[in-house]
Amino acid sequence: MYNAYKNYETWNVILWISNDEGLYTLAKCCPDYEYFVDCLKGFNNLQTPDGVAWNDATIDIETVNKYWVGSFSDVEA
């Protein structure tokens, strides 16, 4: 556990998306985390400023998408 999340990587991506204006604005246009990551690839943005890859295999996608629905998107994940 890391700050109530499964691990550091999950916490880190949620932290950055929630607190960076550009990432937050992009997130509001995306229905879920997977779509968000695909969009970032187009900008050649492959990791958080802390060095966690957006597509890191240890990220708990289910938790991120649950957070997504309540915080970024009106679309069910």
Does residue 44 lie in a domain region? yes
pLDDT in tens, 15-42: 999 999 999 999 999 999 999 999 999 8
> Domain range for residue 61?
8-71
> Does 2 reside within a domain?
no
- Structural domains in the chain (count): 1
pLDDT at residue 69 greater than cutoff 80:
yes
**Is 1 inside a domain boundary?**
no
pLDDT at 6: 96
Q: Tell whether 18 is covered by a domain.
A: yes
57 within some domain: yes
Torsion angle, alpha carbons of 21, 26, 31, 34, to 10? -100
Q: Which segments of the chain does DSSP mark as H helices, in order?
A: 8-19, 21-28, 33-42, 61-71
- The confidence band for 4, taking pLDDT boundaries of 50, 70 and 90, is very high
Asked if 71 contacts 18 with a C-beta cutoff of 8 angstroms, the reply is yes
Residue 23 lies in a domain: yes
Kindly state the tokens that stand for 15. Answer: 């932290």
